Chain A
């Protein structure tokens, strides 16, 4: 019955299968008259395959991606990008010098090389952006999946809790948490992470007040997918609730979540800068773009580069992730395709 390994082409023994895939593809190929297309088609007909084929043709995806990789490398290997300058080697005689051929970004008020300062700031920003997004995805996916899958009172309870958190603006909530954090005590002990104003505390504050959108996104996806036939089929064939949720529902719900996560990396980086600027974020001797903008604003008239350069770098980083997220959303949503 099965002819061993003839090519994947026609199989005449399945007589009377007019819509067999091979036939469809053959028609498509001849119409396009291009052997290339056939080769590309082979493995990429899945959701992610299609999305990748779509993404490759999007200039915004490439611009965003190249920028993101650039800043990522900067965060990982700052010394390479600081052109040999040590961010801690400062000389007051250079205070607030404007950019020059030798020092592209000039010097800050304390006479430190500003390029080194900005480059070393990338690590904190990206670290907060990524850990923050991972954290809020974990919370959002777990809470959203439980609410959407179990429904009923579980859903009502979790949705109300989400509403309560929604009522608090992200920056305001994080501001309060970071403000009281260092003084907070549990059983007389300082609370770990939140007691010191490091990147961990800021990421935690942003997760604490920022997981709700991810939760709602996942919940609505899960509700939609829960009623699909393949979930019913899995149930009918004896799959338990956890297996259905983890194997069948979540992998199908993940596309919009990934888009949201990509955009949110940028949003959290901006939020970190805002919190630091407001004085509750990172403190010296940490390097942070928000800190640099905050310090630089006193000298805006005489040394505008102190504000402009970190602002521009911050904007580029945020933009990189937003552009990638946008391109990804278009690629994953077939309705947006022309």
Chain B
């Protein structure tokens, strides 16, 4: 299964690369290749304004994997779509900044943005069957990347498509290059999608629930592949998912989103072992435990709020077991919006009572 290209020594290579990145700039978020700063996305159509993303900030460095974790409808996909420029404006209304290598994409013209999409930031989608054009062979679609961005000839594009299919470990690539998307299995289709996204060696790859539509064994293969490819190319990987298991295995850092906001960020170990936000803690304790057979699961009570009517104060307070009234000078969970603040070294959380969670 392993080829010489993705052979051993990969983890070492990744380590060096991160060191390089940190050496040339200030640590941690230094020299991020992609920075999202106070991103807001509203949908203004008939009816109430839907606040899908409310001031999300994160950044990603080369070689780093960041997971964006959250329930359905928390705005994690919309923030990615805003980066990729695939939201229709209007009805979407995007404010804030999305900086790629220091330049704000939201301030660029359409043509300039387009030059970043593909070679700079690229994306793979949840359902590869619907994300691939049914009327073209996979070789055509992968090769189109070279034809559109680099003006490659038909023959050249096809050869490079075969190379890429090999690289994403599609067996018998040369025989299958002229097959159509529906002739591939789910896992193979996702690999085709990955090949397309990687065609131009992007600096950042956004994977929007890349394994949700796949069964468990194939999920693991696709995640392994993504991990290996990241190691080879040193790209930043943003992994959008609601699958805590996937996050735990591959991510370096995690940003937990709730109701269009980042409520907690930190290294994967910190966040998973000692959550600093009650919502994160709720997520962790809702995971079924293998040796807990016969015990009841612990879901978070209630449902996520409608993005058209986000509760005042902390948006999680109606479901929060720790929510309290503000008296005696304490912050009021139902009235005061908790800022995303540093609660421990390298960790940020948006909760008035994070310290209690961490230390008490």
Contact = CB atoms under 8 A, between A and B. Distances in A.
Interface of A: 1-3, 5-6, 8, 11, 13-21, 24, 45-47, 228-230, 232-240, 243, 247-248, 251-252
A238 B133 contact: no
B117 A230 contact: no
Contacts of B183: 21, 45
B131 A232 contact: yes
Interface string B143-181: 011001100000000000000001001011111000010
Contact of B125 (A11, A232, A243): A232
Given A17-B218, A19-B186, A229 B127 contact: yes
Given A21-B184, A47-B135, A8 B196 contact: no
Given A232-B81, A235-B84, 5 more contacts: A8-B175, A14-B169, A19-B187, A228-B130, A233-B193
15 contacts: A1-B169, A2-B173, A13-B1, A17-B218, A20-B185, A47-B135, A228-B130, A233-B125, A235-B85, A235-B86, A236-B84, A237-B123, A237-B197, A251-B133, A251-B136
Nearest to B197: A237
A239 B134 contact: no
A234 B186 contact: no
Interface residues of B, number: 52
B256 interface: no
A147 B145 CA distance: 27
A36 B5 CA distance: 41
Nearest to A46: B180
A236 B182 contact: no
B221 interface: yes
B122 interface: yes
Interface of B: 1-3, 81, 84-86, 111, 114-119, 122-123, 125, 127, 130-136, 144-145, 148-149, 166, 169, 171-175, 180, 182-188, 193, 196-197, 200, 215, 217-218, 221
A142 B334 CA distance: 55
B90 to A, nearest CB: 9
A15 B133 contact: no
A233 B134 contact: no
B107 to A, nearest CB: 18
A252 to B, nearest CB: 6
Contacts of B174: 5
A240 B117 CA distance: 10
Contacts, number: 117
A234 B148 CA distance: 11
Contacts of A19: 185-187, 215
B175 A14 contact: no
Contacts of B130: 228-230
A236 B122 contact: yes
A251 B197 CA distance: 22
Nearest to B114: A238
Contact of B185 (A17, A228, A236): A17
Given A232-B86, A236-B86, A237-B123, A15 B182 contact: no
A238 B127 CA distance: 19
Given A18-B217, A235-B85, A5 B172 contact: yes
B3 to A, nearest CB: 4
A45 B182 contact: yes
Contacts of B84: 235-236
A8 B215 CA distance: 23
A21 B116 CA distance: 35
A229 B221 contact: no
Nearest to A228: B130
Given A17-B188, A237-B145, A238-B148, A45 B180 contact: yes
A240 B114 CA distance: 7
B117 A236 contact: yes
B139 to A, nearest CB: 14
B135 A238 contact: no
B47 to A, nearest CB: 19
A11 B1 CA distance: 11
A252 B115 contact: no
A155 B1 CA distance: 52
A25 to B, nearest CB: 9
B116 to A, nearest CB: 8
A24 B182 CA distance: 12
B148 A11 contact: no
Contact of B132 (A8, A47, A230): A230
Contacts of A237: 117-118, 122-123, 145, 196-197
B45 to A, nearest CB: 13
A8 B172 contact: yes
Contacts of B118: 237-238
Contacts of B173: 2
Given A18-B215, A20-B188, A229 B148 contact: no
Contact of A229 (B125, B144, B169, B184): B125
A240 to B, nearest CB: 6
Nearest to B175: A8
Nearest to A237: B118
Contacts of B1: 1, 13, 15
Contacts of A228: 130
A216 to B, nearest CB: 22
B217 A16 contact: yes
